Amino acid sequence: MWQNKDTFYAIFILLFFAITISVGIYTSRNSKDVGSFVLGGRSVGPWLTAFSYGATYFSAVVFIGYAGMFGWNFGISAIWIGLGNAFIGSLLAWRVLGRRARVMTKHLDANTMPDYFGSRYDSKKLRTAAAGIVFIFLIPYTASVFNGLSYLFTKSLDLGRISNGFEICIIVISLFAALYVILGGYLSTATNDFILGTIMLVGLVILVGSILNDHGGLMGSLTALSQFESPTSDMKGVYSSILGPEPLNLLGVVILTSLGAWGLPQMVQKFYSVKDERSVRAATVISTIFAIVVAGGSYFIGSFGRIFVTPDEVTNPVTGLFSSDMIVPEMLDKAVAPALIALVIVLVLSASMSTLSSLVMSSSSTITLDLIAPNLKKPLSEKKKVTLIRVFLAFFILVSATLAIYSYRTNDMYIARLMSISWGALAGSFLAPFLYGLFWKGVTKAAVWASYFSGVGLTLTHLVLSNGALFGHDFVFPTGLPINLASPINAGAFTMLFGLILVPIVSFLTPKIKNDVVEHAFEGYSIKVTAEQKLQLPEEEVK
């Protein structure tokens, strides 16, 4: 039986690999220069862009890590996270940022987020610092994607029978991801996102039905979920209630995972590449629908984790500790038929490869274009830049895979924590100066620096304190409060909101940027057009 099932899964996986590699080879001929390799020549249509945005947003991190952890903690109320991702992280992001980001970055000829900061605020140092932040803090996010995929594969393919099966899985995925991205660049990933994003949409609808059917439909599943008691609430049936046992902590997750997307370089670069005005409007609608189905469906599935698995069944075999990352793979193994498990594997693999490709593309292009190339005495040719980007792609994947293996062996860096560290530092540093910079001429260089320092500083400070250390003494966060101060999720949400307050305050108190620099950045929004006058004789006078 196992042999037949393994063969069935292997066929699906090999088919996935064949499709993605074929697309990579086909699109590689259009990725000879930096603009085409990193942004697809800024000519990507609405469907490819919208699916690429959604597939980058939602990966194994969401489907395996976040859906499992927050579904377990919050019950059915976890669906608010998916709705927040759809309406704040997708709809509102495209409405507020989409067009202005595309116009200003095209006018400033900026290919990356650090490039935008350097040109918008006329500062090479801001550009260099941003590049360093991107490279360092995208690593834990990438590691979390590797972990999510590996947990699913290890359970579905029963790799636990093999010595170091989890680690082997990470290595194989790393090699494939490197080949996948190095071949075709952005256009390759966008094309694959569209093809495989369709599988994601269909797959999640089928999975939701399968999960509910196991316990007698929606009402039967909610009834079963209501039987569990929460250690943080005295309310009966709290896991089946609309706000769940911890509304404030739930709000922190919504803020981090929804508003955080506005300040992530791999997400923002999707706006850079969109083709035209019509594509922006269409992509807004498409990406929102995609997010409702994928994010909403993922958290909806995860919310029923308690009725399928027990804490003993989701124990890390290496550390012997409870692992929320194993909840969704375990419940799918119990509730879903082998044919659907194969679909799940392709579904999560599709989303995760898109996210991985966007992460490593953002990091490697940033290091090459914003950190190395500007500081060389001799300018690099377009061909050499693309080659260097590909080299750093491989290096970034190697470092991330190593961190993923470490986190699995220690159980210290579970998926949600890895992602929270990454999103807190990146969005905390970049969200405010990026958003305000698109709309407000008054943002100063000092305000951008302040945002950088607060984003990274608050994230690292919380990381140190959450490990119980403070100047060599034990530190414990206060307990009994309505919000969990030790949570990296809440810390990341606070860091982003703090930056939105900090930037305008510092901007009002510090010297302004030269007027010609600011006007040049904003003139792309209102380019003057000379029209030919057809009527030259005066109109007939009215008596």
Asked whether the predicted pLDDT for residue 431 surpasses 90, the reply is yes
Domain boundaries, the chain: 2-20+43-526
Predicted local distance difference test score (pLDDT) of residue 450: 97
3-state secondary structure of 341: helix
Give me the chain's average pLDDT, please: 79
- Both structure tokens of 179: 């080949």
Indicate the pLDDT class of residue 169, thresholds 50, 70 and 90: confident
Residue 321 CB neighbours (<10 A) = 12
274: phi then psi, degrees, rounded to nearest 5:
-65, 150
| Fold observed for domain 2-20+43-526 | Sodium/glucose cotransporter (1.20.1730)
Q: What is the DSSP letter of 276?
A: S
Residue 18 CB neighbours (<10 A) = 10
Tokens 């999975």 sit on residue: 207
Q: What is the DSSP letter of 540?
A: P
3-state secondary structure of 118: helix
Residue 526 CB neighbours (<10 A) = 8
Asked whether the predicted pLDDT for residue 480 surpasses 50, the reply is yes
The CA distance from 417 to 488, in Å, is: 6
Residue-wise pLDDT for 274-316, tens only, equals 777 788 888 899 999 989 998 899 899 989 989 888 888 887 7
* Cβ-proximal residues to 463 (8 Å cutoff; 6+ apart), any chain: 421, 488
Listed ranges 121-125, 310-314, 323-327, 535-539; the one with the highest mean pLDDT: 121-125
Is pTM beyond 0.85 here?
A: no
Residue-wise pLDDT for 451-462, tens only, equals 999 999 999 888
